[in-house]
Amino acid sequence: MRILMMLLLMLSSAVGGVLVAPLFASEGIFIPFETRNFDGALPSELACTALADAMVSQDIEPTWSGSIRTGAQAIAGKGVDHLALRIDLQDKTIKLLTTAAVKIGDTDAAKLKIIRDTKDFLTATQTYFDGMVSVLVLKKSTRVAVWTKTSPVSLLGLSGISFFLRCR
């Protein structure tokens, strides 16, 4: 399946006039976990564990000659953070609070707006004043989710971070 996706990506890139490298790293990590289908309604509160996380960013470095060298940097690994989600379908919001935020004294949960609620998925977003965008996609039946934050403004330039979550 991975090879088929890579071929399709390369073909679509070539058709567009530019051949690009596949979007998959040549090496990666695999973190096994058990999935389970949950019956019934989605609870209004979930405790989530980050099983994996990844960060990508623009890398800007001055050189000895005084010029600027730019590139891309990526780091991925086993997740270490935990999140609390409070889902309010009436208000169409999801409040999200991480243990990392609590450890630095932040007690205000991020408030994401639910933009899509289907039988299978719940999708919520938040846009911040500096242009950062946060997106959470939750698969209702297995209670796994991906939470991504992308920022156009940071010390590193354009950057993003993603978490693969298992929620209970």
Residue 16 has pLDDT above 90, yes or no: no
Question: How many CA within 13 A on the CB side of residue 165?
Answer: 27
Residues of the domain holding 82: 40-167
- 116 located within any domain: yes
Residue 21 lies in a domain: no
Q: Could you tell me which residue, 158 or 139, shows the higher pLDDT?
A: 139
Q: Per the structure, how many domains does the chain have?
A: 1
- Tell me: pLDDT of 140 over 60: yes
Query: pTM for the full model?
Result: 0.78
153 compared with 22, residue with greater pLDDT: 153
Q: Is the pLDDT assigned to residue 83 strictly greater than 70?
A: yes
In sequence order, what E strands does the chain have? 45-62, 68-78, 82-88, 93-98, 110-117, 121-127, 133-139, 144-151, 159-167
Average pLDDT value for residue range 52-66: 85
Q: What's the whole-number mean pLDDT along residues 23-31?
A: 66
79: CATH: 2.40.160
Give pLDDT, residue 4.
36
Does any domain span residue 16? Answer: no
Query: Around 146, how many Cα atoms within 13 Å sit in the side-chain half-sphere?
Result: 7
At 17, the pLDDT band (50, 70, 90 cuts) reads very low
Percentage, residues of the chain above pLDDT 90 = 55
Write out pLDDT tens, residues 87-139.
Answer: 999 999 999 999 999 999 998 999 999 999 999 999 999 998 888 999 999 99
Q: Taking 80 as the threshold, does the pLDDT of residue 56 lie above it?
A: yes
Residue 162: inside a domain, yes or no?
yes
31 domain residue, yes or no = no
Q: Is residue 76 part of a domain?
A: yes
